[in-house]
C-alpha cells in the first residue's frame, strides 16, 4: 500500500494535469475563485470535490510520511549505535506510531504482556518448520527501585518511557517491544533468517546495539542525568522450541545469570546455563530443607588478647551437604537471600549465640555476622529483642559484625537500626575493614565499637610496606576514636607479633585457632592458648 501511495504521489507531482496540481491551482487562483463564486451550482459541486480531494491527498501524505518513518527505523536494523542514534534524533515519539487500545501499557504505550505472549506463540509455531528463527531479549534495569526512591515516581515513569522509546527506535516494526514487569522489558525479534547460528549472531548484535543505546547516553529528566545499568538475557526461538513458557523461562534464566554475574552484561541462554541453574535450584531446595530442619552447624573461632587470653569469639555457620560435602558459607549465605530464608537463619544463629553465652566465661563476648538485608528489615529489631528475652542472654556480651554494605543504600536507616539495637546493649563491629572504601566519617555516625582488619591487609604483614602503612593507619585512627581493633586471618607468628606490638587489641586466625564445632570449644575452652595449630 505504501509503495502504491508513493507511486501515485510521484506520478501526480510529475504531472501538471494531475488532481494534485488541479487542486493546488484551484485554491491559489483568486480570479477563478471569483468567477466560480458567481456560479452557485458549480461552486457547491467544486467545493465538495475539492474537499474530498484535499482530504484524500492529506491522508495519502500522512501515510507516506509514516511509511518513510517506519522504513527509516527498519533500515536501522540491525541497529548499530550510529544508525540507532540517527534514528533516535529523527524518529517520531513512540506514541505516534503505536495505536492505543486496551492491549497497551498505559505508561509506555507498548503492547502488554498478553499481546507479547500471543506473538511469541505465533513465532514458536512458525519456527517449528525450522525456517523462521526468532529471539527473545529481556532487559532488566539495575537498581530501578532506588531510582524511584531517590527521584520520585514522575522521574521513574519518564525513564521507563524513554527506555521504551529507545527500544522502539532500535527495533523493526515487525518486532515486539513490551514492558513485562515494572522495570523489565522484553523484545521479540522475528524473522532472523533460516540459519540458526547466523540468527543467533544477529540477535546478539541487536542485543548489543540496544544495550549501548540504553546505556551510552544518560537519560535526562528534570535537569538530572541518570545513567542506566542493565542486565540482558536472550534466547533463540528455533525448531525445537516447544512453547511460550519454555522460551520465556530460558530468557529469564539468561537474564538472572547476567544479574548474578554482577550485571552490565549480555548473557545468551545455553544448555550449560540450564544445567547450572538446575544444579543451583536443587542446592537451594536442599538448603531450604536444611534450614527448616536446623541441619546447619555453628562453628566458633576464638579471639586472643595481648595476654594470650580468649577475649571473645566469632560464630561461623557451616553446612555439610549429605552428598556434596561442605558448602562454604560464602556460597550458601547469599543463596539464603534468594530463597527468602536469611531472616530465620540469622535468628537461629542469634539463638545459638545467646544460648552459648550461658556456657562461656562471663567476660567473653560472642560475635555474630549480620547481613545487611537482615539488619535493614522492618521487623529485625523486634525479632532480636524477642530472642534475647526468651534466652535471657546478656545483650552486652553480643557483638554484631556488619559490613559497609549495610549503609550503602540508606545511611539514615542503617544508623537508626544500629542505634535501636545498641539500646538493647548490643555492640557493633565493622567487618572486613580495609578491604573496601569505608568513609571514615561514618564511623562516628554509626556507633561502631570495634573494627576488624580484613585479612587481605594482614596477609602482607610484616614485610609488605603498603600493608604495614594501612594497618598502622587503622590502629592509629582506632586509638584516636577509642575503637577496639581485632585482626582477622592471622596465620603466622610474625603477623601476630607485629600486630600486638603495634597496639592491636585481639587476634583471630589460623595461627591461634581454626574455627571448630561449638560443642568442642565449650568442652575445651579453659585450656585454649594462642599458638601454632598442629
Ligand atoms: P568473615 O565474617 O570475614 O569470616 C572470617 C572468615 O575467615 C571465615 O571464613 C573464617 O573461617 C576465615 N578465617 C579465619 N581465620 C582465618 C585464617 O587465618 N586464614 C584464612 N585464610 N581464613 C581464616 P568462613 O567461615 O568461610 O566464612 C566466610 C564468610 O561467610 C564470613 O566472612 C562471613 O561473611 C560469612 N559467614 C560465615 N558465617 C556466617 C553467619 O553465620 N552469618 C552470616 N550472615 N554470614 C556468615
Ligand atoms: Ca565476620
Ligand atoms: Ca571478615
Q: DSSP letters of 462-510?
A: TT-HHHHHHHHHHHHHHHHHT-EEEEE---SHHHHHHHHHTT--EEEST
Q: Is residue 293 exposed (0-12), middle (13-18) or buried (19+ Cβ within 10 Å)? A: exposed
- Measure the CA dihedral 274/279/284/290, to 10°: 170
Computed on alpha carbons and rounded to an integer, the radius of gyration of the chain in Å comes to: 34
Query: What are the grid coordinates assigned to 365, written together?
Result: 563476648
Position of cell 544444579?
A: 279
Position of cell 525445537?
A: 240
Indicate which ligand has the atom closest to the C-alpha of 532: 1
Kindly state the average pLDDT of the residues 108-130: 91
Cα dist from 343 to 127, 291, 333, 395, whole Å: 46, 11, 11, 19
Domain limits of the chain?
109-269, 291-530
The two beta strands, 450-453 and 398-402, are: unpaired
- The ligand 1 atom at the shortest distance from the C-alpha of residue 342 is 44
Calpha distance 213→166 (Å, rounded): 7
**CATH class entry, domain 291-530:** alpha beta
- Measure the CA dihedral 45/49/55/56, to 10°: 160
Least trusted range by pLDDT, from 27-36, 269-278, 280-289, 387-396: 27-36
pLDDT at 128: 85
Calpha distance 183→144 (Å, rounded): 7
Question: Percentage of the chain surpassing pLDDT 70?
Answer: 81
Candidates 3.40.50.10490, 3.30.70.270, 3.30.1490.20, 3.40.50.720; CATH matching 109-269: 3.30.70.270
What's the full length of the chain, in residues? 534
Residue 209: its H or E element: helix 196-215
Instruction: Tell me which residue has its CA closest to atom 27 in ligand 1.
Output: 329
- List, in sequence order, the alpha helices (H) in 376-486: 380-391, 405-408, 411-423, 441-445, 455-458, 465-481
DSSP strands (E only) in 271-414: 297-305, 310-321, 325-327, 365-369, 398-402
Same CATH topology for 109-269 and 291-530: the answer is no
87 lines ligand 1 (CB under 6 A): no
Kindly state the average pLDDT of the residues 367-373: 96
Least trusted range by pLDDT, from 83-87, 152-156, 199-203: 83-87
Would you say 439 and 415 are in contact if contact means Cβ atoms under 8 Å apart?
Answer: no
Q: Is 56 left (phi over 0), alpha (psi -120 to 50) or beta?
A: alpha
Instruction: Please tell me the distance between residue 318's alpha carbon and the centre of ligand 2 in angstroms.
Output: 13
Query: What are the grid coordinates assigned to 214, written together?
Result: 540504553
pTM of the model: 0.70
Q: Is residue 453 exposed (0-12), middle (13-18) or buried (19+ Cβ within 10 Å)? A: buried
Instruction: Tell me which residue has its CA closest to atom 38 in ligand 1.
Output: 316
Write down the mean pLDDT value for the chain: 85
Residue 101 has pLDDT above 70, yes or no: no
Question: Percentage of the chain surpassing pLDDT 90?
Answer: 63
Least trusted range by pLDDT, from 4-13, 155-164, 270-279, 291-300: 4-13
Residue 2 has pLDDT above 90, yes or no: no
Residue 55 has pLDDT above 90, yes or no: no
Residue 145 has pLDDT above 50, yes or no: yes
Instruction: Tell me which residue has its CA closest to atom 32 in ligand 1.
Output: 330
Instruction: Please tell me the distance between residue 120's alpha carbon and the centre of ligand 1 in angstroms.
Output: 47
Indicate which ligand has the atom closest to the C-alpha of 372: 1
Calpha distance 496→456 (Å, rounded): 15
- The ligand 1 atom at the shortest distance from the C-alpha of residue 491 is 18
329 lines ligand 1 (CB under 6 A): yes
Calpha distance 69→78 (Å, rounded): 16
Q: Tell me: the pLDDT tens digits for 57-89?
A: 666 665 555 444 333 333 333 333 333 333 333
Query: What are the grid coordinates assigned to 185, written together?
Result: 522489558
pLDDT at 59: 64
Would you say 94 and 105 are in contact if contact means Cβ atoms under 8 Å apart?
Answer: no
Residue 165 has pLDDT above 80, yes or no: yes
46-56 in b/e form (b: 16+ CB < 10 A) is: eeeeeeeeeee
Q: How confident is the model at residue 467 (pLDDT cuts 50, 70, 90)?
A: very high
Residue 454 has pLDDT above 80, yes or no: yes
Cα dist from 442 to 255, 371, 438, 448, 526, whole Å: 35, 18, 8, 9, 38
Least trusted range by pLDDT, from 120-134, 262-276, 416-430: 120-134
Q: Tell me: the pLDDT tens digits for 234-269?
A: 999 998 888 899 999 999 999 999 998 889 999 999
Would you say 472 and 466 are in contact if contact means Cβ atoms under 8 Å apart?
Answer: no
- List, in sequence order, the alpha helices (H) in 29-131: 30-37, 40-75, 81-90, 94-97, 113-127
pLDDT at 9: 63
Residue 318 has pLDDT above 70, yes or no: yes
Indicate which ligand has the atom closest to the C-alpha of 454: 3
Q: Tell me: the pLDDT tens digits for 422-451?
A: 999 999 999 999 887 777 778 878 999 999
349 lines ligand 1 (CB under 6 A): yes
281-285 LR contacts (CB < 8 Å, sep 24+) = 283/321, 283/324, 283/327, 283/332, 283/335, 284/335, 284/338, 284/339
Residue 507 has pLDDT above 60, yes or no: yes
Amino acid at each position: 500500500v505504501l509503495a502504491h501511495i508513493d507511486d501515485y504521489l510521484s506520478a501526480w507531482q510529475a504531472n501538471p494535469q494531475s488532481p494534485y496540481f488541479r487542486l493546488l491551482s484551484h485554491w491559489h487562483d483568486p480570479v477563478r475563485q471569483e468567477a466560480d463564486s458567481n456560479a452557485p451550482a458549480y461552486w457547491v459541486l467544486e467545493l465538495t470535490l475539492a474537499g474530498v480531494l484535499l482530504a484524500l491527498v492529506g491522508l495519502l501524505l500522512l501515510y507516506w510520511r509514516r511509511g518513510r518513518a517506519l522504513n527509516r527505523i527498519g533500515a536501522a536494523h540491525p541497529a548499530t549505535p550510529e544508525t540507532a542514534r540517527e534514528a533516535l534524533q529523527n524518529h517520531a515519539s513512540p506514541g505516534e506510531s503505536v495505536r492505543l487500545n486496551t492491549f497497551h501499557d498505559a505508561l509506555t504505550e507498548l503492547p502488554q504482556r498478553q499481546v507479547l505472549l500471543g506473538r511469541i506463540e505465533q513465532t514458536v509455531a512458525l519456527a517449528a518448520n525450522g525456517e523462521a528463527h526468532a529471539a527473545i531479549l529481556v532487559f532488566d534495569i539495575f537498581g530501578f527501585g532506588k531510582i524511584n526512591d531517590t527521584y520520585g515516581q514522575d522521574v521513574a515513569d519518564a525513564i521507563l518511557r524513554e527506555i521504551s522509546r529507545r527500544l522502539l527506535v532500535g527495533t523493526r516494526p515487525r518486532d515486539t517491544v513490551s514492558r513485562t514487569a515494572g522495570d523489565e522489558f522484553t523484545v521479540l525479534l522475528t524473522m532472523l533468517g533460516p540459519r540458526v547460528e547466523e540468527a543467533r549472531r544477529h540477535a546478539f548484535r541487536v542485543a548489543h546495539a540496544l544495550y549501548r543505546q540504553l546505556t551510552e547516553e544518560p537519560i535526562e529528566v528534570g535537569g538530572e542525568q541518570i545513567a542506566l545499568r542493565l542486565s540482558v538475557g536472550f534466547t533463540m526461538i528455533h525448531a525445537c522450541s516447544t512453547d511460550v513458557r519454555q522460551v520465556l523461562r530460558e530468557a529469564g534464566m539468561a537474564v538472572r545469570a547476567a544479574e548474578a554475574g554482577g550485571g552490565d552484561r549480555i548473557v545468551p541462554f545455553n544448555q550449560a546455563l540450564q544445567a547450572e541453574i538446575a544444579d543451583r535450584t536443587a542446592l537451594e531446595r536442599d538448603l531450604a530443607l536444611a534450614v527448616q530442619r536446623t541441619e546447619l552447624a555453628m562453628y566458633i573461632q576464638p579471639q586472643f588478647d595481648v595476654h594470650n587470653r580468649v577475649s571473645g569469639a566469632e560464630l561461623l555457620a557451616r553446612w555439610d551437604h549429605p552428598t556434596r560435602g561442605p558448602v562454604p558459607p560464602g556460597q550458601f549465605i547469599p543463596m539464603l537471600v534468594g530463597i527468602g530464608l536469611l531472616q530465620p537463619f540469622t535468628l537461629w544463629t542469634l539463638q545459638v549465640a545467646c544460648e552459648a553465652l550461658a556456657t562461656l566465661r562471663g567476660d567473653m563476648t560472642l560475635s555474630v555476622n549480620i547481613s545487611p538485608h537482615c539488619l535493614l528489615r522492618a521487623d529485625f529489631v523486634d525479632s532480636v529483642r524477642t530472642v534475647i528475652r526468651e534466652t535471657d542472654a546478656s545483650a552486652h556480651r553480643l557483638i554484631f559484625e556488619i559490613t559497609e554494605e549495610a549503609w550503602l543504600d540508606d545511611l539514615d536507616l542503617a544508623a537508626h537500626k544500629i542505634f535501636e539495637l545498641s539500646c538493647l546493649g548490643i555492640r557493633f563491629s565493622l567487618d572486613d575493614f580495609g578491604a573496601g572504601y569505608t568513609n571514615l566519617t561514618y564511623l562516628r555516625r554509626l556507633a561502631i565499637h570495634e573494627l576488624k582488619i580484613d585479612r587481605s591487609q594482614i596477609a602482607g604483614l610484616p614485610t609488605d610496606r603498603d600493608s604495614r602503612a594501612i594497618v598502622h593507619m587503622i590502629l592509629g585512627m582506632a586509638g584516636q576514636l577509642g575503637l577496639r581493633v581485632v585482626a582477622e586471618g592471622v596465620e603466622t607468628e610474625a603477623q601476630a607479633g607485629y600486630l600486638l606490638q603495634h597496639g592491636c587489641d585481639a587476634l583471630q586466625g589460623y595461627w591461634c585457632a581454626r574455627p571448630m564445632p561449638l560443642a568442642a570449644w565449650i568442652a575445651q575452652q579453659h585450656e585454649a592458648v594462642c599458638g601454632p595449630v598442629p
